[in-house]
Amino acid sequence: MKRNRSGLNEFGLIDILKKRYQTVNKDIIAGIGDDAAVFALDKTRAGLLTIDTLVDNVHFDLSYTSFENLGHKALAANLSDIAAMGGRPVLAVVSITIPQGIKIKDIEKIYAGMARLAKQHVVAVCGGDTVAGRELSLTIAVYGKARKNNIGLRSGAKAGDAVLVTGSLGSSQAGLEILNSKFKNQNAKLTKKHLQPETRVKEAQLLAAKFRLHGMIDISDGLASELHHLARESRVGIIIDQGALPVAEEAVTAANILKKDPLEYCLYSGEEYELLFTLPARQAVEARTILGRAGTPCSVIGQVVRGHGVKMIGRDLKTFKVPDRGFKHF
């Protein structure tokens, strides 16, 4: 994947956009800096809008990504953003840039991958745009809805909250490294989460129906990066417990094959699309039970505290800072 050569990091860009270009009016509930824009529809409902672009040789590689998987993954990234706000996705529009060499049947396969995932979450793919260009890219915008008074925001974490995460972590990056290694054909299970990620739309709606949402974000750039997002936007500190991290079995297996540290996969694996959220400690126990009954494991991995930054208590009980790094978008 390409690296940031502009000299400006993502947070610096977000700060500039917020200060100079964000339009403020009474209908906007959340804008630049969250997973989706949020705007009032009426007294009780809010609309959600998110957009993502996937570009060939930056976000995917067609040497091991099928066109069906590309369509699935492109839509999944957007559905995950709606889930991160505690919302329900409603419709999607798609803009696709088509280079020479891409055939009609390839485009149909991309849409077939999107359609299967859209059907699973009752989302309508309603149109969009097609243009010619040098590189294949997909830009998808998804519109969703949520309760106006219960939006999951990056700025919602509060001191005393427990920090929770759905599912297990690390298998997407582990799968990517397996695909780029000589072991790419060893085990399809090791690469499934990278090629066909799940989204936690159902889980987000369960949480929003039962609890007053606090801090919430999806893990698209890595657990460590998202923890720093929550801490920074909520103006709090976060302490996590290494022993509580749900390291994926596939990440451990891949780490053994590639001679890597599975903790690195757990902390810095992008495109996991799990939900990272905070709730008061008593509600955290109930949330684990509710999600568990729905078939989704959920782990309490730490606590929100007064202060700033993200720290980890290691297995040796020593505390250290968690570096703020993850996928570079530009």
Task: For residue 234, give the CATH number of its domain.
Answer: 3.90.650.10
Residues 284, 171 share a domain: yes
Domain-ending residue, one of 121, 147, 173: 147
pLDDT higher than 50, residue 213: yes
Residue 277 forms part of a structural domain: yes
Task: Specify the amino acid at residue 94.
Answer: V
Q: What span, in angstroms and rounded, lies between the C-alpha atoms of 198 and 311? A: 28
Residues 172, 135 share a domain: no
Residues 236, 89 share a domain: no
Residues 219, 106 share a domain: no
Residues 64, 111 share a domain: yes
Q: DSSP 3-state assignment of 273? A: coil
Task: For residue 21, give the CATH number of its domain.
Answer: 3.30.1330.10
Report residue 329's pLDDT band, with 50, 70 and 90 as the boundaries: very low
The mean pLDDT value for 223-235 works out to 96
The mean pLDDT value for 231-239 works out to 97
Q: What span, in angstroms and rounded, lies between the C-alpha atoms of 215 and 326? A: 20
Q: Distance of CA 314 to CAs 13, 130, 263, 311, Å?
A: 33, 50, 11, 9
Domain-ending residue, one of 103, 122, 147: 147
Residue 329 forms part of a structural domain: no
pLDDT higher than 90, residue 13: no
Q: Distance of CA 152 to CAs 43, 83, 206, Å?
A: 18, 9, 13
Domain span holding position 62 = 10-147
pLDDT higher than 50, residue 3: no
Residue 28 forms part of a structural domain: yes
Domain-ending residue, one of 90, 115, 147: 147
Q: What span, in angstroms and rounded, lies between the C-alpha atoms of 136 and 127? A: 18
Residues 18, 165 share a domain: no
The mean pLDDT value for 183-207 works out to 92
Residue 181 forms part of a structural domain: yes
Residue 184 forms part of a structural domain: yes
Give the whole-number percent of the chain exceeding pLDDT 90: 84
CB-neighbour burial class of residue 69 (10 A; exposed 0-12, middle 13-18, buried 19+): buried
Q: Which of 57-71, 182-196, 259-273, 303-317 has the lowest mean pLDDT?
A: 182-196
Residue 93 forms part of a structural domain: yes
Domain count, the chain: 2
Q: What span, in angstroms and rounded, lies between the C-alpha atoms of 24 and 117? A: 34
Q: What count of other Cβ atoms lies within 10 Å of the Cβ of residue 149? A: 12
Residues 194, 102 share a domain: no
Residues 100, 31 share a domain: yes
- Would you state the pLDDT for residue 189? 87
Mean pLDDT (the chain) is 91
Residue 327 forms part of a structural domain: no
The mean pLDDT value for 285-309 works out to 97
Residues 182, 141 share a domain: no
Taking the model in full, what pTM does it have?
0.90
The mean pLDDT value for 244-257 works out to 96
Residues 226, 84 share a domain: no
Q: What count of other Cβ atoms lies within 10 Å of the Cβ of residue 297? A: 13
Q: What span, in angstroms and rounded, lies between the C-alpha atoms of 26 and 47? A: 14
Residues 282, 168 share a domain: yes
Residues 167, 93 share a domain: no
Q: Which of 8-12, 174-178, 280-284 has the lowest mean pLDDT?
A: 8-12
